[in-house]
Amino acid sequence: GVAVFLAAQKSPAIGLSLAIAIALHNIPEGVGVALPIYFATGSRLKGLQAAALSGLAEPLAVILLAVFFPGHIDERLVDCMLAGVGGIMAFLSFHELLPLAFQHAGKSLAVGCLLAGMGIMSLNLHLLNTYVLGDLH
């Protein structure tokens, strides 16, 4: 949520593209939250509630930031904060997620999927930028 708010402060096109990417990411994240709870409790409702609660954190963060920072935020500060958020996400991906992928899928498949995911996201961002957001720049 913080990243979307900051990106939208920088540019509506960047904010929209990041919001779409995060929305797509939230689908498997919601499944990842709901399934362990469902299997632990046998309750679909508890799994759905936990997934919904975790999904509400991002829009809530945007609302809180908009309330506390209603005006324009200095562009340099936005750039620094976006870089910080990106660095945290990259660190977590490579430090936590990639070793787990190596363990469960093997190094070749994990690296192949990592590269395929990067390619797919790059293509999606290019298509979004070219065909959807072209007028917002």
Residue 124 near residue 130 (C-beta atoms within 8 A): no
Name the residue type at position 115.
L
Residue 6 near residue 81 (C-beta atoms within 8 A): yes
Residue 19 near residue 128 (C-beta atoms within 8 A): no
DSSP string, 69-84: --SPPPHHHHHHHHHH
Give, in order, the Cα–Cα distances in Å from 111 to each of 17, 33, 88, 123: 25, 24, 20, 18
**Per residue of the chain (137 residues), what is the pLDDT tens digit?**
777 777 777 777 777 877 887 888 788 888 889 999 999 999 999 999 999 998 888 788 878 877 887 777 777 887 888 788 889 988 988 898 899 999 999 999 999 999 998 898 888 878 877 877 665 55
